[in-house]
Amino acid sequence: MKLFVTGGAGFIGSEFIRQSIAAGDSVVNFDKLTYAGNLDNLVSVADNPRYSLVVGDICKAADVAEAMPEKCDAVVHFAAESHVDRSILSAEEFVLTNVLGTQVMLDVARHRKAGRFLHISTDEVGGDMEEDEWFREESPLEPSSPYAASKTAAEHFVRAAARTFGLETIVTRTSNNYGPFQFPEKLLPLAISNALEDRPIPVYGDGLQIRDWVHVADNCKALRLVLEKGFAGDTYHIGGGDPMTNLEVLHMLLRIVGKPLSLLTTVKDRPGHDRRYAVHFGKITRELGWRPETTFEAGLTQTIEWYQDNAHWVERCKNGDYRSYYETQYSPAGRG
């Protein structure tokens, strides 16, 4: 396949690109390289002749159109502002990238006659689930945070492009991904790196919020399957099938790392914090035969080992060195 990927320097997009290059596909990665874009994630494919990088903003239609080849097999749209806490501090970038940027991508994909448009969404668009309630593909969308609201709006534009212009779209909604190369602002990489350095781990509120965790490699296998065999116009949920409270997750993590529970430090809760997500992914299992391969404990153990073995990667995230390529090649000062 010839793929045009947005946001491929991020956590999930880079795993998707590594898998796609290994499978023989060719990939153009269009990425703005925001704080979340990290070219260290793509070192293993950077010199592959089937991989290329274009640094650009999905909100700029002319730049996207120039980068997107005519009639690529699919656009795979990961690019987004992805961190809930940042959206609470300021929602502007979320509206621009997640909503306007998605609409720009849909327009350009249509004009450049892309085969398919795979839109990467999230289980957060469903909002809080009651006890025993499941979030299904046909459930109402009731987002709680500005991030989730922007992802919900984006989904509506995807749906409208399919209905109005006949664009061949597919939407996936995934639960919390975890695994290697995740930026250390999200719960698991933050908790792992703090635990390894004997630093406190912030627990929002009572820590009893429930999340479903899926390994990023399993998620990307599902995305590739949906791309090849999914039905146009459909939505597919993807999850790990192992919902846990944040405290259960953190207790397991500390047990694996061999550090004391006293590292857990209660802090003020996230405003509007969703209590429970419960993504139901029976449809993708039934129709396409996908199910997660990695149990949470095995995946967490492997992820912790990766962070231990890649302390240099974490260090470069924390001290800002991961941005040096961007600074020299693409910042206004560097260009001259």
Binding site for ligand DAU (CB under 6 A): 82-84, 122-124, 175-176, 186-187, 190, 202-204, 209, 211, 246, 270, 277
Known active-site residue 297 = no
Catalytic-labelled residue, pool 15, 25, 31, 123: 123
Interface with ligand NAD includes 20 (CB under 6 A)? no
Amino acid at 63: D
Catalytic-labelled residue, pool 81, 124, 212, 274: 124
Q: What is the CA radius of gyration of the chain?
A: 19
Residue with tokens 């975890």: 178
Interface with ligand NAD includes 94 (CB under 6 A)? no
Nearest distance in Å: CB 147, ligand DAU: 7
Nearest distance in Å: CB 62, ligand DAU: 28
Known active-site residue 322 = no
Q: Which is nearer to ligand NAD, 200 or 318 (CB)?
A: 318
Q: Which one of the spans 79-87, 132-140, 228-236, 305-313 is the region binding ligand NAD (CB under 6 A)?
A: 79-87
Interface with ligand NAD includes 239 (CB under 6 A)? no
**Residue 9, both tokens:** 């320097």
Interface with ligand NAD includes 126 (CB under 6 A)? no
Residue from 33, 99, 167, 191 in contact with ligand NAD (CB under 6 A): 33
Residue from 3, 5, 10, 243 in contact with ligand NAD (CB under 6 A): 10
Catalytic-labelled residue, pool 51, 147, 307, 326: 147
Nearest distance in Å: CB 230, ligand DAU: 20
Which residue, judged by CB position, is nearest to ligand NAD in the bound state?
10
Give me the helix-helix angle, 216-229 and 11-22, nearest 10°: 60
User: Does residue 113 come out as left (phi exceeding 0), alpha (psi in the -120 to 50 range) or beta?
Assistant: left
Q: CA 193 to CA 180: how far, in whole Å?
A: 12
Residue 211 interaction partner, one of ligand DAU, ligand NAD, none, beta carbon < 5-8 Å per kind: ligand DAU
Nearest distance in Å: CB 250, ligand DAU: 8
Nearest distance in Å: CB 131, ligand NAD: 23
Nearest distance in Å: CB 262, ligand NAD: 28
Q: Which is nearer to ligand DAU, 28 or 151 (CB)?
A: 151
Stretch 127-186 residues interacting with ligand NAD (CB under 6 A): 151, 174, 176-177, 183
Residue from 17, 21, 74, 80 in contact with ligand NAD (CB under 6 A): 80
**Residue 10, both tokens:** 């991020």
Residue from 5, 21, 39, 59 in contact with ligand NAD (CB under 6 A): 59
Q: Which of 50, 75, 177 is nearest to 123 (CA)?
A: 177
Q: Which residues bind ligand NAD (CB under 6 A)?
A: 6-7, 9-13, 31-34, 36-37, 57-59, 78-80, 82, 97, 101, 120, 122, 151, 174, 176-177, 183
Q: Please give the positions annotated as active site.
A: 123-124, 147
